[in-house]
């Protein structure tokens, strides 16, 4: 843990270990192959990168820029985050001024990179569609969006669309292991599996969870759940088991301790309970799983609408106790 202790000093691991070139990217093989053709031909259309967070959209755009222009790629790329700079004035001033100017170089065009373009206002998108037409000869636009449906149809029709998919489990875990080796960080195999499950294929989130857990020492399953503010699934399963066995008071006390110790909200607990009732570690009849899932959905709606967390969760445990008595479970 020599360097893991100083991991938070200047830079997040997610940025530190971002692939610089397209050939360093993994998982999105088809997309990388198509982008490499643009690099080889030194030409490309306007692009729209769409997909879930943390799947490599921004990385692919920056890597493409590096492969096209080399070490001085920043001279030829205007990078804007549309979450902060998304108004029509930015499109009409900063983007237009950059798009209309020409720079000498072996690549006959520059790139305007608009990250989180789905957050752009409707007026800004209308102004952008005109710029994409007027300056197509010497400027290419790369738009990045988590929700492409929020991009107006005229812009979508002007772009070649690249759809990114969540990363494969083996690729995420292999990358986490490589980062651990670079940072001299000790870890448990099960902890990396848990990180993947929590991140849901979001590589950026997976690396940040790993960094936070590494700050506590060896990366273990317990430390991972601790840094993400979730209860260990074993504890949630125990609450469900106690309730179904008719031990309502014991289950309720354990639930209250869990909420205090982990600082969890009612919604957090309900999401974990919903996940655990479908777990193979909790052997339940399918009909019972259906009934519990239906009632968890009802309780979750009440909590979201403003009902008291503790009362609603107690009601859920009471319903589980009654269901357990009806089905005469032996857990």
CATH number at residue 98: 3.40.50.300
Mapped onto helix, strand or coil, the DSSP state of residue 53 is coil
| Residue 12 domain-assigned (yes or no) | no
Put the strands of the sheet holding 46-50 in their side by side order. 77-81, 110-115, 139-145, 46-50, 159-163
**What is the arithmetic mean of pLDDT over 145-153?**
91
| Residue 245 domain-assigned (yes or no) | yes
Question: Based on the domain organization, do 44 and 151 belong to the same domain?
Answer: yes
Q: Is the pLDDT of residue 17 over 60?
A: yes
10-14, 27-31, 201-205, 242-246: which has the minimum mean pLDDT? Answer: 10-14
User: Are 105 and 78 in contact, with CB atoms under 8 Å apart?
Assistant: no
Chain segment 102-129, per-residue pLDDT in tens: 776 788 899 999 998 888 888 888 888 8
Q: What is the spatial distance between Cα 43 and Cα 224, in angstroms, rounded to a whole number?
A: 44
Question: Based on the domain organization, do 37 and 132 belong to the same domain?
Answer: yes
Residue with the two structure tokens 């920056």: 62
Chain segment 43-79, per-residue pLDDT in tens: 999 999 999 998 999 999 999 999 999 988 888 898 8
Nearest to 31 by CA among 55, 53, 15: 55
| Residue 16 domain-assigned (yes or no) | no
| Residue 119 domain-assigned (yes or no) | yes
DSSP secondary structure string for all residues of 181-243? HHTT--B-HHHHHHHHHHHTT-HHHHHHHHHHHHTTSSB-HHHHHHHHT---HHHHHHHHHHH
Which of the listed residues 228, 252, 281 is the one where a domain comes to its end?
A: 228
The whole-number pLDDT of residue 127 equals 87
Q: What range does the domain containing 269 cover? A: 233-327
Chain segment 289-313, per-residue pLDDT in tens: 999 999 999 999 999 999 999 999 9
Question: Based on the domain organization, do 250 and 286 belong to the same domain?
Answer: yes
CATH number at residue 199: 1.10.8.60
CA geometry: angle at 162 spanning 158 and 165, to 5°? 150
């Amino acid at each position: 843990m020599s360097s893991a202790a100083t991991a938070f000093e200047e830079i997040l691991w997610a940025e530190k270990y971002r692939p610089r070139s397209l050939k360093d990217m993994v998982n999105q093989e088809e997309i990388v192959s198509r982008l490499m053709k643009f690099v080889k031909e030194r030409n490309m259309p306007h692009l729209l990168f769409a997909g879930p967070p943390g799947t490599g959209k921004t990385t692919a755009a920056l890597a493409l820029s590096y492969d096209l222009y080399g070490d001085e790629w920043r001279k030829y790329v205007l990078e804007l985050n549309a979450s902060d700079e998304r108004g029509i004035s930015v499109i009409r001033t900063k983007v237009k001024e950059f798009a209309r100017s020409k720079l000498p170089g072996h690549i006959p065009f520059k790139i305007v990179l608009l990250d989180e373009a789905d957050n752009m206002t409707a007026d800004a998108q209308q102004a952008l569609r005109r710029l994409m037409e007027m300056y197509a000869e010497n400027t290419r636009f790369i738009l990045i969006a988590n929700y492409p449906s929020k991009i107006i149809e005229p812009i979508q029709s002007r772009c070649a669309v690249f759809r990114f998919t969540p990363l494969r489990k083996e690729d995420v875990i292999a990358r986490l292991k490589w980062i651990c080796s670079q940072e001299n960080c000790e870890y448990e195999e099960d902890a990396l599996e848990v990180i993947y499950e929590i991140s849901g294929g979001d590589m950026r989130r997976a690396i940040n969870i790993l960094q936070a857990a590494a700050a506590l020492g060896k990366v273990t399953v317990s430390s991972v759940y601790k840094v993400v503010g979730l209860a260990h699934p074993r504890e949630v399963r125990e609450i469900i088991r106690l309730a179904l066995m008719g031990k309502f008071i014991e289950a309720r006390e354990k639930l209250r301790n869990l909420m205090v110790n982990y600082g969890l909200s009612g919604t957090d607990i309900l999401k974990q309970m919903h996940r655990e009732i479908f777990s193979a570690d909790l052997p339940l009849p399918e009909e019972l799983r259906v009934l519990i899932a239906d009632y968890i959905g009802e309780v979750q709606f009440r909590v979201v609408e403003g009902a008291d967390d503790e009362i609603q969760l107690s009601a859920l445990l009471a319903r589980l106790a009654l269901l357990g008595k009806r089905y005469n479970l032996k857990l």
